[in-house]
Amino acid sequence: MTPDQFRQDFPEFSDKEKYSDATVDFWLTVSESLVNPCRWGVLTDQGVELCTAHHLVLAARDEATAAIGGTPGQVTGPLSSKAVDKVSASYDTGAATIDDAGMWNLTTYGVRYLTLARLMGAGGMQL
């Protein structure tokens, strides 16, 4: 898997200034260690790419936070409500998150990755 292939499949990460080849390659390498090809089979590349996209989004959040003087790496959960003046909005985060998914719930890529990962682990495996 290369950064160019990843960007072809996930064009939302095509900005090489925001998502450098080195950063994409780093997270591809990490993700390859988290996706067992024996379990994932023909979906191995998709698992690696979803995991990579998840980590890229989290890294971009941290970078944006640091750029405005904040502390990167702070843990925040999905936003469930927001109010500005007399207008407020709230969202049912339970409809888009997975119980006991931890940090995978922080991005849609993480939710999709974990959904597939749990399917890949279902049932027996014989080598």
The reported pLDDT for the residue numbered 103 is: 80
Q: State the pTM of this model.
A: 0.80
Please report, for the chain, the start and end positions of each structural domain, with discontinuous segments joined by +.
1-72+103-127
Q: Which one, of 60, 58, 39, lies nearest residue 116 by Cα?
A: 39
The per-residue pLDDT for range 108-126, each reduced to its tens digit, is 999 999 999 988 866 555 5
The residues facing 45 across adjacent strands are none
Q: Where are the beta strands (DSSP E) in the chain?
A: 81-84, 87-90
The per-residue pLDDT for range 5-64, each reduced to its tens digit, is 999 999 999 999 999 999 999 999 999 999 999 999 999 999 999 999 999 999 999 898
- Measure CA 22 to chain center: 17
